[in-house]
């Protein structure tokens, strides 16, 4: 029978479920990327502030920045002292964050 529509609801429901699953997977990937970016920036900020504080107290800045970054589950990529400022770069799950801190 050509006019028989029996079973169309099952196909429609399966198609909608597949589309919804795809959207959820994409949203989860975007959320994971945004969370990693945020964590990297926070870790860079904290490492830069800790390093600037150490520098102001006469201690070496970059070892403090590296340990602070690691305590925040980040991998330090670069650290440099630029006058009285400290610039720190870190990565978290392949996403990077850069921060600069100095005396107030």
- Burial group, residue 4, by CB count within 10 angstroms (0-12, 13-18, 19+): exposed
Helices 8-56 & 61-71 angle (0-180, nearest 10): 150
* pLDDT tens-place values along the chain, 104 residues long: 456 677 788 899 999 999 999 999 999 999 999 999 999 999 999 999 999 999 999 999 999 999 999 999 999 999 999 999 999 999 999 999 999 999 87
- Rounded distance, CA 63 to CA 81, Å? 12
Sheet holding 85-92, edge to edge: 75-82, 85-92, 95-101
Q: Determine the CATH number of domain 8-101.
A: 3.30.1300
Instruction: Decide: pTM greater than 0.85.
Output: no
The residues spanned by each domain of the chain are 8-101
90 strand-pairing partners: 76, 97
99 strand-pairing partners: 88
């Amino acid at each position: 029978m050509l006019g028989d529509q029996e079973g169309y609801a099952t196909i429609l429901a399966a198609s909608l479920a597949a589309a919804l699953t795809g959207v959820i997977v994409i949203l989860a990937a975007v959320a994971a990327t945004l969370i990693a970016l945020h964590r990297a920036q926070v870790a860079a900020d904290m490492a830069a502030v800790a390093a600037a504080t150490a520098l102001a107290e006469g201690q070496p800045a970059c070892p403090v920045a590296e340990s602070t970054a690691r305590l925040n589950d980040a991998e330090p990529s670069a650290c440099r002292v630029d006058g009285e400022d400290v610039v720190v770069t870190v990565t978290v799950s392949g996403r990077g964050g850069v921060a600069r801190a100095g005396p107030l």
